Amino acid sequence: MKIGIGVSGASGAVYPKRLIEFLDKKVELFVFASDTAKEIFKYEIDLDFVEFIKTTEARYFETDDFYAPVASGSFGLDACVILPCSMKTLSAIANGYADSLITRCADVAIKQSKKLIVSPREMPFSAIHLENMLKLSRLGASIVVPAPAFYFKPKTLNDMVDFVVGKILDELGIENNLYLRWGAKH
């Protein structure tokens, strides 16, 4: 399975870090991050994004590298995940404005009816944000807002991160037990 992960400049660097760590060596990963996303990585979790990727088997590409394999539909990515998704990137994707590898990857997923998972992060959402999400949802994208639940009684921040990442893995159809499912024993 080949998965593209686009990291845009919204809060929540812990999420792509965890998702990439979980998927590393299980699937083929192609990752790209905007300049602001890289800054937020450094700011929120004190990590250099590119150095972090070097500790994995994921392949990293600059967002303006339209010669990257994932820029073409012919490469055959199975799924594209935008995590977290800023409101700017959400707007670009919803309007077919494929100006970066992140938005191009999503654009290709939409045109080829491949799995697209978008994880928009903002609070509150404006009507513009919500309309963009509705548009993408109607096009078949999964909108997975990084909003952890509390019914599974999380004890740590990691539990809450794993809940969100587990939901994204569920959308990808990848088996995981990152969170306690309703009905499972505590």
Ligand X SMILES: Cc1cc2nc3c(=O)[nH]c(=O)nc-3n(C[C@H](O)[C@H](O)[C@H](O)COP(=O)(O)O)c2cc1C
CB 63 within 8 A of CB 99: no
* Residue closest to ligand X when measured from CB atoms: 9
Q: What's the DSSP call for residue 9?
A: S
Question: Site for ligand X (CB under 6 A): which residue of 5, 13, 29, 34?
Answer: 34
- Of 15-23, 30-38, 104-112, 153-161, the window that binds ligand X (rule: CB under 6 A) is 30-38
88 touches ligand X by CB under 6 A: yes
CB 43 within 8 A of CB 12: no
| Binding to ligand X in span 108-137, by CB under 6 A | 121-122
78 CB contacts (<8 Å, ≥6 apart)?
A: 1, 2, 3, 114, 115
Question: Site for ligand X (CB under 6 A): which residue of 37, 68, 83, 109?
Answer: 37
Q: Give backbone dihedrals phi and psi of 83, rounded to 5 degrees, phi first.
A: -145, 120
89 touches ligand X by CB under 6 A: yes
**CB 161, min distance to ligand X, A:** 15
Q: Which residues of 87-117 are buried (b: 16+ CB within 10 A; e: fewer)?
A: bebbbbbbeeebebbbbbbbbbbbeeebbbb
40 touches ligand X by CB under 6 A: yes
**CB 83, min distance to ligand X, A:** 12
- The residues of the shown chain that bind ligand X, judged by CB under 6 A, are 8-11, 34, 36-37, 40, 43, 86-89, 121-122
